[in-house]
Amino acid sequence: MKHKFFAVLITSTFFIRNSLAQELVTLEQVLKIALEKNYDIRLAKNTSSSATLDNSYRNVLLLPQVNAVGSTLWTNNHQEFEFQDETRNVSGTAKSNNLSGSVQLVWTLFDGTKMFATRERYSEIASQGELNVKNQMINSIAEVISNYYGVVRQKQQLQAIIEQMSVSEERVKVSERKLQVGTGGKPELLQAKVDLNAYRTAALTQETLIEQLKDQLNGLVGLQLPAEYDVTDSIIIDLSLRQEEIAQDIETKNFGLLATQKNLEIAKLSLRERKAERYPLINFNAAYNYSRTDNTQLINPFSSLLNQSNGYNYGFSVSIPVFNGFGNISRTVQQARITSDRQHLLYEQQKQQVDVSIRNAFVNYENAIKVLLIEEENILLAKENVSIALESFRRGVATFIELRTAQQSLADGYNRLIAARYIAKVAETELLKLSGSLLK
């Protein structure tokens, strides 16, 4: 009797917890929060901001460099002078102060178009950063969708367990009545109670799993969801997806592929930069100079007390690479070409992987839908079979073994049906992720 009391108490507590009003959080609400608070997306945006900042200064590469230089110098030297006329020989300390300054301009007019290639490379890196952000957003959206419907899946599984529990409770009641009137045996009643307790345990375990999955989902959105929340009961599946539509123009829709393609463009621009180092470098140089020297104490009678000059100069300089360490430039050019070829291979490899992923995801999607249609029909048959078996058990026509077999068939049918729903949704999400449609 004591054990029965605790079993009822546990079951009652379970139903009280599930009957408490919890805020319903839709998938759209979770996705909106994820796009703002997901750490992976925020880190991708942070990296992209760095590239965007560099790109905003790309035009500086075409402008001249202007530097101002100034210095002041105090000199204290011991000097000795000897002349043919010994009466003029003198020695002592000479002191002077020097103040100088200049403004210098260097403007690169030609460097083999290296500066233009570098400018374009900065722009491509910034564009790649934006694509990486979008790609991360799509990946995070797909992860949130899978986790959200993972909670829904387990919630449906819990509802199936509760339904099975109600059948087991009826089994216990009927077995007790049969035992009281002498038409049933005690082993039959004991087995019914064992099965009921097993479902109670499964329900509690399922509830724990749901709470854990909710916490994982909350972690994906920076713990911005309510402390107690609920999700929807159904998994809505788009049955209209077509493989041809998903695969069409995938090179322009898949953000991961587009980002990898940017790596190829960046590598080509780096190759242009290395090739440009073979050409002469032509600079325009200009400067304005000022210098003033005050000789506060002189020993040399031929030195001036004040020496001041100022003025400007300008001109052109040409630097031609003649010897650079036995082909160092050729080495860097070859390395850049190898990197470009490698990026091309990586792009082709990733495109192949995307094509294979689309085919696999569509096979999973198509098969899951076929299984889903079968299991939707099968679950109705299993429910009807349990209903008939339970009624027959009440009348004493069917044995508890037949009823238990029908129950197990219903449980298996629910497991297959719920799994088929979730697998179809995950496959649908994967197809939309590969096609870049999740951002829409």
Q: Is residue 242, in this structure, part of any structural domain at all?
A: yes
Query: Model pTM?
Result: 0.79
Residues 374 and 249 in one domain: yes
Which pLDDT band holds residue 20 (cuts at 50, 70, 90)? low
pLDDT of residue 3: 42
Percent of the chain beyond pLDDT 90? 45
Same domain, 58 and 71: no
| pLDDT value, residue 325 | 67
Note whether 50 and 129 are same-domain residues.
yes
* pLDDT mean over 166-176: 82
**Residue at 78 is within a domain:** yes
32 and 88 fall within a common domain = no
201-203-204 Cα angle (round to 5): 65
Are residues 77 and 144 located together in one domain of the fold? Answer: no
Whether residue 2 is contained in a domain is answered as no
**Domain stops at, among 320, 351, 372:** 320
Domain that holds residue 340: 26-63+113-279+328-439
If asked whether residues 101 and 233 sit together in one domain, one would say no
Instruction: Identify whether 399 is part of a domain.
Output: yes
Q: 221 lies in a domain? A: yes
In a shared domain, residues 404 and 266: yes
Q: What DSSP string runs through 143-211?
A: HHHHHHHHHHHHHHHHHHHHHHHHHHHHHHHHHHHHHHHTSS-HHHHHHHHHHHHHHHHHHHHHHHHHH
Q: Is the pLDDT of residue 89 over 80?
A: no
Q: What is the pLDDT of residues 239-292, one digit of tens each?
A: 888 988 888 888 888 999 999 999 999 999 999 999 998 999 999 999 999 998
CB burial of residue 147 (10 Å; 0-12, 13-18, 19+):
buried
Cα separation of 328 and 332, whole Å? 6
Average pLDDT over residues 89-115: 87
Residue 10 binned pLDDT confidence (cut-offs 50, 70, 90): very low
Mean per-residue pLDDT, 294-298? 74
Nearest by Cα to 283 from 142, 104, 89, 88: 104
> Which pLDDT score, from 0 to 100, does residue 145 have?
94
Per-residue pLDDT tens for 197-244? 888 999 999 999 999 999 999 999 989 888 888 999 889 888 888 988
Do 294 and 375 share a domain, yes or no?
A: no
CA–CA–CA angle 52, 343, 360 (5° rounding): 100
Mean pLDDT calculated for residue range 288-300: 81
16 versus 199: the higher-pLDDT residue is 199
- pLDDT value for 260: 92
Q: Inform me whether the pLDDT recorded for 15 exceeds 60.
A: no
Q: Based on the domain organization, do 334 and 223 belong to the same domain?
A: yes
21 inside domain: no
Question: Tell me, what CATH number does 407's domain have?
Answer: 1.20.1600.10
> Are 83 and 203 contained in the same domain?
no
The band of 340, judged by pLDDT with boundaries at 50, 70 and 90, is very high
In a domain, 8, yes or no: no
For the chain, the domain total comes to 2
What per-residue confidence (pLDDT) applies to 280?
Answer: 92
pLDDT tens for residues 376-429?
899 899 888 888 888 887 877 777 788 888 888 888 999 999 999 999 999 999
Give residue 4's pLDDT band: very low, low, confident or very high (50, 70, 90): very low
Q: What was the pLDDT predicted at 397?
A: 77
Distance (Å, whole) CA 189 – CA 187: 5
